[in-house]
Each structure stands twice: as structure tokens, then as C-alpha cells.
Amino acid sequence: MITHYGIPASPGVAIGEALIFDKERIRIPRRFVTRDAVDDEVRRLEQAIDAVAAEIDRNRELVTGQLGAQYGAIFAAHLAMLRDPRLNEEWRRLIREQHYAPEHAVSETLRRYASVFQKLEHRFLAARSEDVLDIERSLLRCLTGQPREELTHIGSPVAVLAHDLTPSETASLDRRFVIGFATESGGAGGHSAIVARALEIPAVVGLGRFLAETGPGDAVIIDGDEGRLIVRPDGPTRAEFERRAESRRTFAASLERFRDLPAETADGTRIEIDANIEFPHEVDACRQRGADGIGLYRTEFLYLGAAREPTEDDHFRAYADVVERMGGRPVVIRTFDLGADKLGRAPGESEERNPFLGLRSIRISLRHVTEFRRQLRAILRAGASGDVRVMFPMIATVPELRRAKAILADACEDLDEAGIPRPPKMPVGMMVEVPSAVVLLDRFLPDVDFVSIGTNDLIQYALAVDRCNREVADLYHDTDPAVLKLIAMTVDAAERHGKPVGLCGQMSANPLCTPLLIGLGLRSLSMPPADIPEIKQICRGTTVERCREVAGRALRMESARQVDHYLREEFQKNRT
Amino acid sequence: MTAEKSERSATGEVTVINEQGLHARPAHALMMCASGFQSNVEIVKDGECVDGKSILSLLTLAAARGTRLVIRARGDDAEEAVAALTDLIARGFGEDGGGASDGTK
């Protein structure tokens, strides 16, 4: 039994057989063919091209079906690249005239294109190098006749283990058979993690090297709660996790009844429970779990994996869809919040030495005013038919907030000039996730209608810990008293100004923290839809008075360890 | 594939106006449009000349907004090809829909 530690990317426990999706670049030797074999070799290449084209087509249908046309569109470009006449001509020439083996020809040409794209400055073009390498891998797999372990053709439940998964690979995981996945690379905010949470399957990323010592068919446990991968578990360990998985299932079933009950404390205080979503289709999960609204609609999926910059209509459709399906409940749309970790696929863009302190989120939006204004117009348009609120991420200074608002005003003007309807006054909020905003919140509040605390970033900036960095991820604690103090300061300032304040980081989904957050004064929590029933249950089982005591004690402690220990004790007390 | 008889040819010049320039989707649209003609189509940017029917070649141009492109076609439907392609590029590939103005202040 070996235990590997990584970053928890999507909660839950999966126990099953390993399917190793090893796409470590296949090394192709320089190989040549004899003159009389040339015709056969060209035919072999043509068959491989046809096979890969069919595969791309299947992926397109699959991804379009699961995640929408925006995602499916990537594959039209893939197909055009595979069928590119220049490329095909060059392959044939290399085989016929230079007597290259097809593998050699494919590898050499595509890697050359990949490196050309990598050098281009344009973000979306640089990302094309991944596409080209994807095509190379597919062709080589066909040509070398390697046993194909197709993610889309899995027939029995498996845990997928890989070095990394591309957007299309993650998106095409078949939910019926893939019980979880674990990857050597990647971070908690990375694309695979986002998709795993949306698909509600457990995942652990950033495990470091483990594939070498893992065999296909090995029994594995993916512990998405604690960020562990256990390979070939011994009997007792397996039994323990099976109990955990089972109790999770019965627990989930027992929570069903909370769906239609409000999150109201035993002494009658109503807590608003909203959902964080990534994709429009998650609205169904929100309604099933009884969310009061959407507290955080991330809009990054429009950019991730897309073959092009989204148009205003792309934005609008994605927003209007959610607004309509939420049937009048509030929807908070957060503007572009791509950061260094999420744009990881675009070389050139991620070469900052300190990406989390670099060009990301609102900073990117304020530099690319045209794109930003386009997104804001779409949000305003969506607001014409429902309760839509706009929220700016990562605001660190008052001038930044004012600039963002000025661009919002310009977007309003654009629509008015064009005679396109918009709400007369859309509520504007900001994320509080940079310590400077907490300290100076009094000065920001007159300019906003609401604030939402983004604990994920607030913690990493307050504690100076990059949670995607395996070396220091263990120093990242949401319960550090310094973090609690920052939350308390934010809530107090907002209350003084009479502005609503919510919390939408991962902390809001942690049942241990719920009493603490209520005690700190929060009355609105936003979390992944899957966590809503349990948090509702916690709210209903406690009182505001009790929560205040918990918060008061925790605030006086000196370390996250102490707070954790205390919260765990409290939790057990309430559960029994 | 060299010309054997006296071939028709046409040339046009056009500026890339869509914001993202010749990225994947416009390159795909351009390639599809060019492939609809029998003529050979070349796209020239700053003296660099690529096959208009090859998406990979088009992408390597990395033609940003504001780039002047020369479209050259040789073949029976050369004029039609140049007209269609310049129109497609001049219309910004139909991107940035929505009607509202996109001007930055």
C-alpha cells in the first residue's frame, strides 16, 4: 500500500480499479522505410488520419452534449488542422521522398507547428500548440497500435490516473464509469478541478510523480476530501474507506429532506444559502438542492478551452440561460476572473514569476477594456429579464473599483444608444479577497451595493501561501485566527454601512466552519450545489447565540490548529 | 500544380478588423471559404505568403487587428474567390455581434 498526497480538487471518495491514461509524450525514433514499402506506409497514415478524425467527431458530439456548443467548437478547429492540406502534403512528401516512417513524419511536423504557435504572442494562438500536440498524440497512438485506453469507451467503473488531463479529456470523462480521477500535475483552481467539481466526481491533483509505480488494474482509493491517492490499499484501509463511501451515500440520502426547508437557525434567523456554479447546466443541481439563488456564477468557462474569445452573444446566452432557469431568484455574475493558474494552458501568459501577484482577474479586465465592456454589456442585457447582480473580483484599491464602475457605465451607454433594454440600476458588488480591501473597506463601501468575501484568495494573500504549491499547501488554513479576524472586520464594516455581505469561498461549504461563520455575523453563504443540504442541516441545528460563542472563542485563539481542534469538538458534540 | 494555360488571376487588399485578429475561428472560416473555390488562394502579410486553404498556415501568420492582408487567387474563379474572402475579412468574420458599438474611450 502506498499513499500519495496531493491537492483535493473535488470532494468525495472513489474506490476502484485504476485506468492509467498515460500520455507522456511517446518518443518516436527517427525511423525510415524502404522504397517499396512507401505506398503501404502512406495508406497506413491515411487510415490513422481517418480513425483520428472519427474520434474527434465523437468527442465533439460528446462534449457538445455535456457542456454545450461553446466547448464542442474546439473540435471543429482540431478537425481542420488534422485535415490541413499543407500538412497532409508534407506528410506524404516526407514519406515518399525522404522515406520517413509515418510516425516520424507526423511527430516532426506537428512538433514544429507547436513550437511556432508557442512563440506567438497571441494568447489564443499560443493555446493552439496544445491542440496540435493533442493531434500528434492521437495519430501516434493509432500508428503505433498501442492499446487504446479510451476515456470515452470505458465499459466498467474505473478511477482515471494520468499525468495531466487536457480540457477535452476531462470534459469527455463518462460520468457513468469514471468514478474519480487523480493527476500528477495541476492545481485546485485548474481546469480539471473545475470540471471535476461540476461533474461531481472526486478528484485529487498535483500529486507529483506516482504513475511509474502504479499499474493498470491496481486497486486505488481517491480521497477527494483530504487530497490523497492510496494505491493497492490493505484490507483494513479499504474497509474503512468503503464504510466512509457508504456513510456518505446514506448521509446524502438523509439530507434530501432539507431541500425544501429554509436554512433557518433554531432561534429563527434566516441564513441565505446560495450556489456557486461554473456551467449553466449546474442550475439543475442548484434547484434540486434548494439553493436560494446563485451567489457566484463564474464566467471563466467561456474562456477555458474555447477556441476563440467569446462574443457578446456567447456571453449573453450563457447568462440569460441561467437567469431564466433560476426563475426570478437572484444571480450574481462575477466578471472575468482568470488568473495565472487557470490560463496555465497558454504558454507565454504564465511566465510571470509570481502569477498570483501578477496580471490576473480584474487587472486583466481593466487592461482589456473592450473585452471587459463586452462582457458587461452581456451581463446588463441578461439583467433585463431577471434579478442579476454584477460582481468585480480581486478589487485591491478604490480607484480600481471606480474604473470598473466607469466601464460599467459606458456599457450602459452602449446599450442605451443601441436601444437595447437593460435594468435601470443593476446592483454592483465586489469580492473582498485582497487584504487591502478589508483594511480599507469603509472607503469602498459607498461605491458598492454588496460585498462577497472570497476566502480562497483572501487566505492565500493573508497567509502568503500559494495553495497550488505542494511545498507549502499545508500552511494554507481557512481557520487561521488572522483569517477569521479579516472576515470579522469585513462583516463589521459592511454592517456599519448597511450593505449586505456574503461569503463564497470554499470555507462556506465546510460544515465545521458554518457555526463560526454565522457567529462572525454572516447571513449569506454561497457554495457548490452539492454541499447545500448539509450546510442547511447545520444551520437548522444551531442557534445564533451558540454560534456567537463559537466565533468569540475561535477569534481569541492563536493558531489554526487550535481553532480546528475546537471546531471539530463542537461538531462532534452537536452530531451526537 | 502549375498553370498550363493562361489562367485568370485576381488580387485584393483588406484590413483585419475583428478584435481578436486571425485566431482559430476566423482562420477556420477563412480556410472554409477559400476551400470552396477551385482557384489557388494565397494570403500575404508583410511579404509572408501562405496557402489560404491551410488553417495551420493561416494561424502562423498571427495577423492581429489592423493588419493589412493581400489576397491573391489564381484559377477560373479567381475574382469570385478574392471578392468573397475580402468581404469575409472586411466584415470581421461576423464576430462581435450584438449591435452595440465597441469603441473604447
Q: Which domain holds residue A39?
A: 35-143
> CB–CB of A539/A264 below 8 Å?
yes
> CB–CB of A238/A42 below 8 Å?
no
Nearest to A113 among B19, B56, B100 (CB): B56
Same domain, A174 and A317: no
Is A452 inside any structural domain? yes
Q: Which of A112, A143, A174 is the last residue of a domain?
A: A143
Is A281 inside any structural domain? yes
> CB–CB of A522/A554 below 8 Å?
no
Contact at CB, A87 and B53, closer than 8 angstroms: no
Same domain, A190 and A126: no
pLDDT band at B100 (very low <50, low <70, confident <90, very high): very low
Q: Which of A184, A218, A238 is the last residue of a domain?
A: A238
Least confident window among A174-183, A286-295, B1-10, B19-28: B1-10
State the Cα torsion A9-A15-A19-A24 to the nearest 10°. 30
The cell for A202 is 472526486
Give the strands of the sheet with A7-10, arranged side by side.
A2-5, A228-231, A219-223, A13-21, A158-162, A178-183, A203-205, A7-10
Closest to A13 in 3D by CA, of A136, A159, A117, A146: A159
> CB–CB of A345/A361 below 8 Å?
no
Same domain, A177 and A128: no
Element (H, E) at A89: helix A85-96
Q: List, for residues A241-291, the tens digit of each pLDDT value.
A: 999 888 888 877 878 888 888 999 999 999 999 999 988 888 988 988 899
Same domain, A320 and A435: yes
Contact residues on chain B for A378, CB-CB shorter than 8 A: 98
User: Phi and psi at residue A290, in whole multiples of 5°?
Assistant: 75, 50
Higher pLDDT, A261 or A68: A261
Element (H, E) at A198: helix A191-199
Q: Which residue has the cell 482577474?
A: A361
Q: List, for residues A450-497, the tens digit of each pLDDT value.
A: 999 999 899 999 999 887 676 787 788 889 999 999 999 999 999 999
C-alpha to C-alpha distance for B78 and B39, rounded to whole angstroms = 6
Q: For position A449, which CATH number holds? A: 3.20.20.60
Would you say residue B3 has pLDDT above 50? no
Nearest to B56 among A73, A86, A312 (CB): A86
Q: For position A160, which CATH number holds? A: 3.50.30.10
Assign residue A13 a region: left if phi > 0, alpha if psi is -120 to 50, beta otherwise?
A: beta
Least confident window among B40-44, B87-91, B96-100: B96-100
Q: List, for residues A494-531, the tens digit of each pLDDT value.
A: 999 999 999 998 899 999 999 999 999 999 999 988 88
> CB–CB of A212/A230 below 8 Å?
no
C-alpha to C-alpha distance for A372 and A356, rounded to whole angstroms = 20
339-378 of A, contacting B, C-beta below 8 A: 369-371, 373-374, 377-378
Is A53 inside any structural domain? yes
Which residue in chain B is spatially nearest to A76 when comparing CA positions? B28
Q: Kindly state the average pLDDT of the residues A537-561.
A: 96
Q: List, for residues A10-26, the tens digit of each pLDDT value.
A: 888 999 988 877 654 44
State how far the alpha carbon of A69 is from the alpha carbons of A74, A302, A333, A530, B41, in Å. 9, 11, 21, 25, 30
Is A81 inside any structural domain? yes
Our measurement of the distance from residue A558's CA atom to the centroid of its chain's CA atoms, rounded to an integer in Å, reads: 32
Same domain, A212 and A81: no
> CB–CB of B39/B78 below 8 Å?
yes
C-alpha to C-alpha distance for A415 and A508, rounded to whole angstroms = 36
Question: B1 in helix, strand or coil?
Answer: coil
Contact residues on chain A for B28, CB-CB shorter than 8 A: 76-77, 80, 307
HSE-up of B51 (CA within 13 Å, CB side)? 12
Is A374 inside any structural domain? yes
Residue B23 falls in the annotated catalytic set: yes
Contact residues on chain A for B54, CB-CB shorter than 8 A: 84-87
Q: Residues B23, B29, B79, B95: which is the catalytic one?
A: B23
The pLDDT, as a whole number, for residue A384 is 95
Q: Which CATH superfamily is domain B24-93 in?
A: HPr-like (3.30.1340.10)
ipTM, interface predicted TM-score of the complex: 0.80
Contact at CB, B64 and A84, closer than 8 angstroms: no
Element (H, E) at A503: strand A501-503
Question: A107 in helix, strand or coil?
Answer: helix
How many domains, chain A? 3
Rounded to the nearest 10 degrees, what angle do helices B24-35 and A74-82 cross at?
50
Q: Write b or e for each residue in A33-62: b if 16 or more Cβ atoms lie within 10 A of its Cβ, otherwise e.
A: beeeebeebbebbeebbebbeebbeebbeb
Contact at CB, B54 and A73, closer than 8 angstroms: no
State the Cα torsion A557-A558-A562-A568 to the nearest 10°. 50
Give A524-539 as a DSSP string.
EEEE-GGGHHHHHHHH
Least confident window among A127-136, A431-440, B44-53: A127-136
C-alpha to C-alpha distance for A112 and A110, rounded to whole angstroms = 5
pLDDT band at A549 (very low <50, low <70, confident <90, very high): very high
The pLDDT, as a whole number, for residue B102 is 36
Same domain, A484 and A341: yes
Same domain, A110 and A131: yes
Q: For position A132, which CATH number holds? A: 1.10.274.10
The pLDDT, as a whole number, for residue A124 is 61
Same domain, A139 and A153: no
The cell for A127 is 493555446
Is A30 inside any structural domain? no
> CB–CB of A177/A157 below 8 Å?
yes
Contact residues on chain A for B105, CB-CB shorter than 8 A: 369, 410
Nearest to A311 among B31, B57, B97 (CB): B97
User: How many residues are there in chain A?
Assistant: 576
User: How many residues are there in chain B?
Assistant: 105
Amino acid at position A515, single letter: P
Listed as own residue / partner, the contacts of A396-399 with beta carbons closer than 8 Å and 24 or more positions apart are A396/A434, A396/A436, A396/A437, A397/A436, A398/A440, A398/A443, A398/A444, A398/A447
Domain spans of chain B? 24-93
> CB–CB of B30/B97 below 8 Å?
no
Same domain, A312 and A408: yes
Same domain, A351 and A467: yes
Is A249 inside any structural domain? no
> CB–CB of A198/A282 below 8 Å?
yes
Same domain, A226 and A271: no
DSSP state of A100: B
Is A244 inside any structural domain? no
Contact at CB, A312 and B59, closer than 8 angstroms: no
Q: Kindly state the average pLDDT of the residues A390-409.
A: 97
Q: Which of A143, A158, A181 is the last residue of a domain?
A: A143
C-alpha to C-alpha distance for A83 and A61, rounded to whole angstroms = 19
Would you tell me how many other CB atoms lie within 10 Å of the CB of residue A264?
Answer: 13
Mean pLDDT of all residues belonging to chain A: 86
Would you say residue A573 has pLDDT above 90? no
Give A119-146 as a DSSP string.
H-S-HHHHTHHHHHHHHHHHHHHHHTTP
C-alpha to C-alpha distance for A513 and A551, rounded to whole angstroms = 10
Same domain, A202 and A344: no
Q: List, for residues A374-393, the tens digit of each pLDDT value.
A: 999 999 999 999 999 999 99
